[in-house]
Structure 1
Amino acid sequence: MDSRTIIYPTDFSACAENAMQYVIPIAKAMKCKVQIVHSIDASNMLKSEENPLRVIEEIQILDVNAKTHLKKIKIKMEANGIACITEMLKYPGISWLPEYIKEHRPYLVVMGTVGSGDLGNKVFGSNAYRVITKTDFPLMVVPKDATYRGFEKMIFATDFEKKDTENINFLIKIARHYKAAIDVVNVTETVFEREEEKFYANNLKDELSKTVRYGKMDYKFLFWDNVEERLEILLKESNADLLALVNRKKNFIDCLFHKSIVKKMMYRTHIPLLIFS
């Protein structure tokens, strides 16, 4: 697949439809085409004890309805000047999606989640999180209650890993189109880490200066005993439009002691998360 492609998986739900309000302007700004993909889940029907002919009819109805929905989305995309293609698969759930992303190697994946404050989020959200943990491509998760208003303020939360230079460069490419400000934020749980974090921040600045110039970027150091709580406060204080996070690959021992900030923030924010792996 062309690297300037956005994959937009949809199950035609309200949260998937809400994500489309971000897909369209980002695709236009970044000059990307969109690949709309839907998978028909007929697993429960196939397990049922109904008449096989009736099951076949129901699957055919699902197929026709899905094609109708995909056509409507495609028409809407093209009306906005976006080149797009559709694809229909037949796999249960969204377990197929990580491999699909790996195969097609997109510029970005944009998908919806139920959103914060919804009890159903823990079911749907955990599925979305499993996709996040199994992909190496940037993925934007859009809560059901997010409202697109452009991007004026972006927050990039960092612990100053080497790959963050590459991730911030990606974010800057989007920010330029919106003239958005980027706050590179580090939250530490103890004040004693301040000098060490500043050292790593200066290294990150030096690395970025070699590859990109972007005047609307600032660095912030915050202290709080609960990182996700402090990020949530920051998002409200700054009226941010996007939170970018890195989902670090952890070994088994790390996972025992460190719960994912990405997973926690999926349940706490009303704005999109852009997740790097």
Structure 2
Amino acid sequence: MKTILCPTDFSDASNNAIAYAAKLAQKFEASLTLLQVQSAFELSPAEMIRGRETSTTRTWHALEAQSREVTRAFKISCYAEATSAPEKLSAAIHDQAERFDLIVMGSNGPDDLYQLLFGSNTYNAILKSNKPVIVVPAGLGYSAIRSMVYAFDYLRNRTLPLTHLVPLVQKLSCRLTVLQVMEDAYSQDAEEELKELQYIIDTYHHRDLKEIKYDTVRDADIAQAINRYMLKNMPDALALCSEHHSLAGRIFHKSVIKQITAICNYPVIIFPH
């Protein structure tokens, strides 16, 4: 985790994410890059008339000044990148993120009806990313992540993706609780299968992770059940996997991510399968 990317649109939510990312950069001894992308899809009619180049130049000066301030305030290496792109913002962020180990993005939930139905820029960038993304809700200040909950239906999938999460857990030196999420009611058979899978997970990852705890929630509304669990137990962060191998799994889990990132008041770490 040596390079962190933080896209910004100069909003309060993205400025808050920059401060959060800067604190992470301090902890990881990493560099931070602030990215501002002007997509043709995002420009106003007035900006289209004046020309994208003028708008990008003005943005660059503001972004460079912000990166200097972050370098001064947090004593880290902070760089500025501003670019224009013909594609949608989420696709542009995906292209730029290939060079980084971690992405930190601010979110203030769905801003309007369109985003509520089709997802915010943050949500759409998450779906396209093959790097871990930390979503920071607006107004949430940085605090050390000492405990993390990883919500996943490993009983249904017969596997628990951990490849991309383990390095982050190790870097943070945090405790990990694996939360089995399922719509099914309690059954003895399911409990025995869970214990068998937990033994396999412990055996396979005993060198990577010192200790994994396990818990289970059962509810028809998975996203709300996870959120209630987080609010009740108050861990420092939630982890979700952004992709399953099956089509049904991908649709299901993307829906959960969409709902969680719209309502959470805690950092959410989304990582690829």
Equivalent position SS for 2:263: coil
Distance 2:36 2:214 in 1: 40
Is the contact made by 1:153 and 1:238 (CA closer than 8 Å) also made in structure 2?
no
Q: Give distance in 2, aligned partners of 1:75 and 1:197.
A: 51
Query: Are the counterparts in 2 of residues 18 and 144 from structure 1 also a CA contact under 8 Å?
Result: yes
* Distance in 2 separating the partners of 1:44 and 1:21: 24
Give the CA deviation at 1:200.
Answer: 1.7
2:213 to 213, 218, 224: 218
Where structure 1 has 5 or more consecutive residues not aligned to the other structure, the ranges are none
Shift of the alpha carbon at 1:269? 0.7
- The residue number in structure 2 matching 1:78 is 71
The offset of 1:86, in angstroms, is 1.5
Displacement of 1:34: 1.2
Residue of structure 2 in register with 1:245 after alignment:
240
Is residue 97 of structure 1 aligned with residue 93 of structure 2?
yes
Structure 2 residue 194 is matched with structure 1 residue 197: yes
Post-superposition shift, 1:186? Answer: 1.1
CA contact (8 A) 1:98 1:135 kept: yes
User: Which deviations, in whole Å up to 9, do the C-alpha atoms of 1:16-67 show, x marking residues without a partner?
Assistant: 11111210111111111112211234667696699x6xx14x852x334312
Kept in 2, the 8 Å contact 1:6–1:33? The answer is yes
Q: What is the aligned-residue RMSD (CA, Å)?
A: 2.9
CA distance in 2, matches of 1:44, 1:227: 33
Letter in 1 for 2:31: K
C-alpha offsets along residues 213-255 of structure 1, whole Å, 9 cap, x if unaligned? 435x422123223221221111111222211100114555556
CA distance in 1, matches of 2:214, 2:150: 10
Tell me whether 1:148 sits opposite 2:142 in the alignment. yes
Structure-1 residue corresponding to 2:108:
114
Q: Distance in 1 between matches of 2:127 and 2:214?
A: 27
State TM-score, norm by structure 1: 0.81
Q: Read off the aligned partner of 1:239 and give its amino acid letter.
A: M
C-alpha deviation, 1:6, in angstroms = 0.5
Tell me how many residue pairs correspond in the alignment: 262
Task: Note the C-alpha offset of 1:151.
Answer: 2.0
Q: Distance in 1 between matches of 2:43 and 2:217?
A: 52
1:65 aligns with 2:58: yes
In the alignment, the residues of structure 2 paired with residue 8 and residue 140 of structure 1 have an alpha-carbon distance, to the nearest angstrom, of: 10
Change (3 A) 1:40 1:127: closer
The residue that corresponds to 1:164 in the other structure is 161
What TM-score, normalized by structure 2, do the two folds share?
0.83
Match of 1:227 in 2: 222
Indicate conservation of the 8 Å contact 1:36/1:70, yes or no: yes
* Partner Cα separation in structure 1 for residue 166 and residue 43 of structure 2: 46
Q: For residue 171 of structure 1, what is the amino acid of its counterpart?
A: L
Preserved CA contact (<8 Å) 1:114 1:125:
no
Q: 2:127 & 2:41 partners in 1: Cα distance?
A: 24
1:138 is aligned to 2:135: no
Residues 172, 214 of structure 1: 8 Å contact kept? no
Note if contact 1:115-1:270 (Cα within 8 Å) is conserved in structure 2. Answer: no
Cα pair distance change 1:69/1:150, threshold 3 Å: farther
Residue 174 (structure 1) aligns with: 171
Which moved further from structure 2: 11-20 or 75-84? 75-84
Q: Which residue of 2 aligns with 1:262?
A: 257
Asked if 2 retains the 8 angstrom alpha-carbon contact of 1:155 and 1:184, the reply is: yes
Using the alignment, how far apart are the partners of 2:105 and 2:200 within structure 1? 33
Asked if the contact 2:180–2:216 (Cα under 8 Å) also holds between the matched residues in 1, the reply is: yes
